[in-house]
Amino acid sequence: MAWDLRGAFLKKGERESARLADFEFRLRVRTLRLFARELGLDEDETVALVARGDDDAALAALGSGVDLRERFAHCRDRARRELIAERGNPAPHRLL
């Protein structure tokens, strides 16, 4: 019985990719929820923007301006800190 190193790396890559994609999705949704609360918008309608495009498209749908971008960046930083506290650091884990 031999240990398959290639298979282990492929499995690790799939698991890491899924974990990082999950973290990124949660970060986007949480950021938009915080942003909606801060602006007094409906959270569900704002979060639905995640399905329609990237963060720039979501901001464009909500309006434009430096203030919105700064507030969005602040919400993203806060959401990232909260997620790291809850789920751990999203940095890839080393196999060896």
pLDDT in tens, 41-71: 888 888 888 788 787 888 877 776 668 888 8
Single-letter amino acid, residue 82: E
Residue at token pair 């789920």: 87
What's the whole-model pTM score?
Answer: 0.77
Average pLDDT over residues 65-89: 89
Above 80 in pLDDT, residue 78?
yes
Closest CA to 68 of 22, 35, 34: 35
The predicted structure's pLDDT at residue 64 = 66
Q: What is the DSSP string of 8-20?
A: HHHHHHHHHHHHH
> pLDDT tens digit string along 15-33?
888 888 899 999 999 998 9
At 64 the three-state DSSP class reads coil
